[in-house]
Amino acid sequence: MPSIVTCRSFSALSVLEDEVVESRDRIRCIYLITGTMQNIHNLPDESWQPLASQVVLAAAKLFKKPDQVRSLCCVANLYWVGRTAEAGEDTLKNGKKVSDILKKGVKSASECLEPLVQQQLFILLLNTYAYYIEEGCKEIDLSQVKELLSRTRDNAVQLDVSAEADALDRQLAETTALFQKLQV
pLDDT in tens, 113-131: 999 999 999 999 999 999 9
**3-state class (DSSP) for residue 184:** coil
Contact (Cβ atoms closer than 8 angstroms) between residue 80 and residue 93: yes
CB atoms within 10 A of CB 158: 9
Burial code (b: 16+ CB inside 10 Å, e: under 16) for 123-143 equals bbbbebbbbbbeeebeebeee
Q: What is the pLDDT of residue 88?
A: 81
Tell me: pLDDT of 1 over 60: no
pLDDT of residue 12: 64
Return the CATH number of 2-181, one of 1.25.40.660, 3.40.30.10, 1.20.120.1200, 3.40.50.740. Answer: 1.25.40.660
pLDDT band at residue 18, thresholds of 50, 70 and 90?
low
The confidence score (pLDDT) of residue 5 equals: 56
Q: What's the pLDDT tens digit per position in 44-65?
A: 888 899 999 999 999 999 999 9
Name the residue type at position 178. L
**Interval 77-116: pLDDT, tens:** 999 999 988 888 889 999 999 999 999 999 999 999 999 9
Q: Are 57 and 49 in contact (CB under 8 A)?
A: no
- Rounded CA gap, 170 and 128, in Å? 17
pTM over 0.85: yes
Alpha carbons 21 and 19: distance in angstroms, whole number: 6
